[in-house]
Structure 1
Amino acid sequence: MNKPRIVVIGSLNMDIVVETSRFPRVGETLTGEHVHFIPGGKGANQAVAAARLGGQTTMIGSVGDDMFGQSLIESLQQDAISTDHVIRIAGTPTGIASIMLAESDNQIVVVPGANASCLPEHIQAVEQVIAEHDIVLVQLEIPLETASAVCQLAKKLGKIVILNPAPARELPEAMLKCVDYITPNRLELATLTGIDASGDHLQTAMEALLEMGPSCVITTLGEEGSAFLRKGETLVKVPAYRVPVVDTTGAGDAYNGGLAYALAAGNELKEAVAFACKVSAMSVTKLGAQAGMPTQEDLKILNQPIR
């Protein structure tokens, strides 16, 4: 059987992770406990997640011509990810994410750097590469016009498109109509629709997003698991797994990489969502977004989800 083929178009960042006992108040200076320099970026994280699960994965994006950029490319190559179409932008720094970890949670500030130079013409130049894959996975840490060009090109090529709308922003109708699966969390869902997505309002917000164009909305709900809704069907909830939490930074990226892998492998949607929940759960048990991405062997220790 051929490996599932996944192409990820998105960001590559160096994550500068600071661990503290608590988050500082405004104007306060705290002494941190540890600092780590960890390969990240939502695009690269999702590529690593898919590759570690067994997917034949290609990364498309941009880095700077600095040491961080070279380090990120080498890190992807260690997971057998094709980096032939990660371009180096001269005179531009690689993107970074400043991440503070405290109290089993995180706060993140992203500086795009070279990610802002991943442009639509770059996507046009790799049309044949996209055509060779089963699933196209894209996020919003690259310019919106580029992400939109990806979705429209992938749909023209008859590919399955997964859009992780993070960070959330208003999206053009032409883009949303090309999306097969959109994967917001509750906050992103509320931002996209203008509807409170908490509690009983969840389905209303998901229905509103469906009306905007995607074929299926899959909402991640943290410790509550996930919910998905397709046009003309009923809302389905999939439970989460209970695990010890070390670092939640890459949980959403693990979820999307797991979902892409499972769908590319031919799983039905409910099975794919359940698999994504399992991948996401395992990812938070280790420090670092990419370091926490599990293999198929890692997933074997998780038995039953929370009911």
Structure 2
Amino acid sequence: MNSRDRGVLTIIGDSVVDHIYRTDRLPAEGVPARGRFEEHFGGKGLNRAVAAARLGLDVRLISAVGDDVAGRRIIRCLRREGVDTELVKIVPGETTPVVALIVASSGFTGIIQDGEDAVRLSRDDLRSAAARSAITSSDAVLLTFAPPIAVIEQAMAVVRTAHERPRLLVQATPQTDSPQYLTKHLSRIDYLIGTRRELCELVADPGRDSETPTADFDSEVAPQLLAHGVGCVCAVEGFECSVRSAELNLDVPRSLAAVLSDSPGAYAAFAAALAYRMVSSGRPADRGDFEWATAAMAATQSFGDIPAAMPTAGEVDRIARLPAVSDTPD
């Protein structure tokens, strides 16, 4: 089976070292919490690349790592998972970024990002012939907000130049500091995925008080994003999914298999699973595809190594056959 038979997905995002602190509860000032520490590889790009490769897609990752032991180990890890690493940039003389994840027993995750910007993709990285070819020849492109705004804009511009334009999935995570710069690009997005808060930030007044409650998804956020030209808006959190587009008004409840309130790898699994279903079928996503992607989230309920928690297609199939919470008898 060659790569075109499996379908090609190019992912743009970060690759980092995750320091995971598992705790019974989030610590408060002056009140310590009990827990333990683990170190694994992760990142918005790496997690989604591993998730998509586990499902059977031919995956290319555009990312950056440091010129250190961790960076080289990340590349070896990706290759073992079957991810193409030719476009993973190694930054000379720099160390691979570290991200701290504090995971409570409920599955809720708090994140502390590395403040250094030395190991990042640049606009020029996406202007290279190899990167442009990878993006424009893909069946789909999955873009996260981990790279700088200039890189996100360049990625969207390259997608637009493709002779047969790949479907563009954008996961609005992590929240970007300047979402207003992306408004003019929203019409290029086929599927926009995020939590309700992340999606709200894309249409929020930049001068609003940060304490202002999140706008209502159905009456304000989704209609505004669709009016800006987004093809489909997907609000994903708590192992549930709400989909709004010209064709779909869909709410997918959590599966019976979801026993936690959340898990660190759930959103990566959802995006990869949705891309897999679309690339495999060659058509736009329908109700069944969103239900399958929602089932993929429930398969990630692990507090440890996030990439290792990414499910195979068989595991997702098993969960997808279970009834949803709303389908169970009273």
Q: Which amino acid aligns with 1:120?
A: R
Q: Displacement of 1:103 after TM fit?
A: 2.9
Asked if 1 retains the 8 angstrom alpha-carbon contact of 2:264 and 2:303, the reply is no
Give the one of 23, 38, 41 matched to 2:40: 38
Which residue is 2:68 aligned to?
Answer: 66
- How far apart, CA to CA, are the structure 1 residues paired with 2:157 and 2:123? 11
Alpha-carbon separation, structure 2, partners of 1:136 and 1:221: 22
Correspondence for 2:251 among 216, 237, 252: 237
2:242 aligns with one of 224, 227, 251: 227
1:4-46 CA distance string (max 9 Å, x none): 21010111011100112221113x3636532111110011111
Corresponding residue for residue 93 of structure 1: 95
Shift of 1:246: 9.3
Kindly indicate whether the alpha-carbon contact (under 8 Å) linking 1:96 and 1:113 is maintained by their aligned counterparts in 2: no
Shift of the 142–265 alpha-carbon distance from structure 1 to 2, 3 Å rule, reads same
Residues 8-23 of structure 1 correspond to what in structure 2 (within 5 A)? 8-23=11-26
Q: Could you tell me how far 1:197 is from its partner in structure 2? A: 5.4
SS at structure 1 position matched to 2:291 = helix
Q: Which residue of 1 aligns with 2:323?
A: 304
Q: What is residue 109 of structure 2 aligned with on the other side? A: 106
Taking a change above 3 Å as real, the CA distance of residues 114 and 67 of structure 1, as seen in their structure-2 partners, is: farther
Structure 1 residue 269: Cα displacement: 2.7
Is 1:191 aligned to 2:201, yes or no? yes
Q: Is 1:56 the equivalent of 2:55?
A: no
TM-score, with length taken from structure 2: 0.85
Q: Distance in 2 between matches of 1:236 and 1:246?
A: 21
The 8 Å contact of residues 8 and 137 in structure 1, kept in 2 or not, is answered as yes
Q: Is the CA contact (8 Å cut-off) linking 2:141 and 2:168 kept in structure 1?
A: yes
Aligned match of 1:271: 288
Offset of residue 254 of structure 1: 1.0
Alignment of 1:74-223 (within 5 A): 74-104=76-106, 105-111=108-114, 113=116, 116-125=119-128, 126-157=131-162, 158-169=165-176, 170=179, 171-194=181-204, 201-223=217-239
Separation of aligned partners in 2, 1:244 and 1:95: 32
Report SS of the residue matched to 2:194: coil
Amino acid aligned to 2:15: L
Aligned-partner SS, 2:309:
coil
Partners in 2 of 1:234 and 1:260 — Cα distance? 17
TM-score by length of 1: 0.91
Distance 1:299 1:285 in 2: 15
Letter of the 1:230 partner, please give it. S
The count of aligned residue pairs is: 303
Matched, 1:260 2:275: yes
Amino acid at match of 1:22: R
Take 2:286 and 2:160, find their aligned partners in 1: how far apart are those partners?
19
Which runs of structure 1 show a deviation greater than 4 angstroms over 4 or more consecutive aligned residues? 112-116, 195-198
Residue identity in the other structure for 1:229: R
> Letter of the aligned partner of 1:274 in structure 2?
E
Contact preservation (8 Å) 1:137, 1:161: yes
Change (3 A) 1:237 1:43: same
Distance 1:182 1:247, change over 3 A: closer
SS of equivalent to 2:254: coil
d(CA) in 2 for partners of 1:246, 1:216: 25
**Do the aligned partners of 1:246 and 1:284 also contact (CA within 8 Å) in 2?**
no
